[in-house]
Amino acid sequence: MGFHTILLLLFPWMFYFALPARLTYVLGKRIKPYELIDKPYEELTDDDIKKVRGQIKDQMQEELNRAVEKFGKKRYSSGKIVGNSIKNMLTLNYYCPPGWPLLFHEHHRLYTKHQGQEFTMNISFWSGLKYLIRNPLTLAFYIPVLGWIPLLIKGYGGHRIQK
């Protein structure tokens, strides 16, 4: 439990909040478990499987540690965040967590309307107002504390707790 949990209780939109991390995906060496055993699969014991599992875990951890050494120096790229924010100033509210409930609800509405087929979302400075009119429940995400009541009713409505 941290500071984020307290904010989550106050502001429901904080559910979508995350710090912008600079992610680097690393592909490790291919692991072939069958090369780590010297007998047929049917003859393997639990100890054999645990041994192979340990070898794989150790190899993956070693590769992960090397990747952290190589790429883990800078967690956040604040310069890029500021640059992207300036470049997308008119639609910045949709790139930040407070705008995400609007985007997610509008996307869900369009996805349902188009029955899972491809569609495009027009995102502009004024589209937030249009999304809010089409998805009025989204307003609850911006009401401190009391906003949880309609969200919980909507989320748990129709569900029965069985003994």
pLDDT at 155 over 90: no
On average, the pLDDT of the chain sits at: 85
The per-residue pLDDT for 13 is: 75
Comparing 72 with 60, the larger pLDDT belongs to: 60
- Residue of 103, 144, 117 lying closest to 7 (CA atoms): 144
Mean pLDDT of the 148-163 span: 81
pLDDT at 18 over 70: no
The per-residue pLDDT for 163 is: 65
Q: Are 142 and 11 in contact (CB under 8 A)?
A: yes
pTM above 0.75, yes or no: no
Q: Encoding tokens for residue 159? A: 């569900």
d(CA 37, CA 81): 48
Mean pLDDT of the 71-82 span: 77
Q: State what percent of residues in the chain have pLDDT above 70.
A: 91
Q: pLDDT tens digits for 77-135?
A: 777 778 877 888 887 777 777 788 888 899 999 999 999 899 998 888 788 889 989 99
Burial of 138 (0-12, 13-18, 19+ CB in 10 A): buried
